[in-house]
């Protein structure tokens, strides 16, 4: 992942962004904190700084949250405290693919916060999950402060495919590997958010 310096300078006037400090992390693989902060800043910009969810520092599996105990290998949006939680081992898993894979997970959970805030998740079906994948893809394409190169896109697509599941009748069904890959890829080529509706 590369920082987009030209556009970053434009967005620096907003107080919640301190991207200048991130110019030191121009090196290829970003630290997880930098990925999380930059995605937050970029997606908040896309949504006009409205309904920004809180993010909790990565937590170990077994930690308590307002939405129950964090299980291993998980990330979720908790509507009760409008926060995104991610477990340490999920971050480690994402980095088996690369830093862009973490950006995809953050984008997916941020999308759930927006689905909730604006009421466009009608149910808990895998359609909602695939829309979050698509929105995450769009975010990564559209954030003004990060450039995802070809290798990043491969990381994102590899993770999307690997976390698909075939539990079609489970409440936790997120879509099959090929459906998740397709959803995030559609998002990355969408010209605006409506491409995911
Ligand atoms: Zn989800």
Q: Decide if 59 is inside a domain.
A: no
Q: Decide if 70 is inside a domain.
A: no
The domain in which residue 108 lies consists of: 2-52+96-196
Q: Decide if 80 is inside a domain.
A: no
Report the number of distinct structural domains present in the chain.
Answer: 1
5 CA → ligand 1 middle, Å:
31
90 CA → ligand 1 middle, Å:
14
Q: Decide if 74 is inside a domain.
A: no
Q: Decide if 71 is inside a domain.
A: no
Q: Decide if 75 is inside a domain.
A: no
108 CA → ligand 1 middle, Å:
6
25 CA → ligand 1 middle, Å:
28
Q: What is the pLDDT along the chain (197 residues), one digit of tens a residue?
A: 888 865 554 444 444 444 444 444 444 789 999 999 999 999 999 999 999 999 988 999 999 999 999 999 999 999 999 999 999 999 999 999 999 999 999 999 999 999 999 988 666 688 999 999 999 999 999 999 999 999 999 999 999 999 998 988 888 888 999 999 999 999 999 999 999 99
Q: Decide if 23 is inside a domain.
A: yes
DSSP the chain: -EE-HHHHHHHTTSTT--GGGGGGG-SSSPPHHHHHHHHHHHHHHHTTT-SPPEEPPPB-TT-EETTEEPPSS-EEEETTTTEEEEBHHHHHHHTTT-HHHHHHHHHHHHHHHHHHHHT---SSSHHHHHHHHHHHHHHHHH-SSEE--HHHHHHHHHHHHHT----TTSTT----HHHHHHHHHHHHH-SSGGGG-
18 CA → ligand 1 middle, Å:
28
94 CA → ligand 1 middle, Å:
15
129 CA → ligand 1 middle, Å:
5
Q: Decide if 86 is inside a domain.
A: no
pTM score: 0.88
20 CA → ligand 1 middle, Å:
31
170 CA → ligand 1 middle, Å:
14
47 CA → ligand 1 middle, Å:
19
């Amino acid at each position: 992942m590369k920082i987009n310096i030209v556009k970053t300078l434009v967005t620096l006037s907003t107080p919640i962004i301190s991207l200048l400090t991130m110019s030191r992390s121009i090196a290829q693989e970003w630290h997880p904190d930098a990925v999380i902060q930059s995605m937050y800043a970029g997606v908040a910009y896309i949504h006009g700084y409205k309904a920004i969810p809180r993010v909790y520092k990565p937590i170990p599996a077994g930690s308590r949250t307002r939405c129950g105990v964090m299980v291993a290998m998980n990330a979720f949006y908790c509507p009760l405290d409008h926060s995104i939680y991610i477990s340490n081992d999920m971050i480690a898993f994402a980095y088996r693919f690369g830093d862009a894979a973490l950006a995809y997970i953050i984008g997916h959970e941020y999308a759930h916060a927006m689905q909730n805030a604006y009421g466009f998740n009608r149910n808990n079906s895998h359609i909602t999950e695939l829309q979050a994948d698509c929105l995450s893809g769009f975010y990564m394409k559209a954030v003004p402060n990060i450039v995802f190169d070809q290798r990043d896109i491969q990381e994102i697509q590899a993770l999307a495919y690997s976390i698909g599941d075939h539990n079609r009748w489970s409440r936790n069904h997120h879509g099959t590997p090929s459906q998740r890959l397709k959803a995030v890829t559609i998002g990355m080529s969408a010209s605006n958010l409506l491409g995911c509706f």
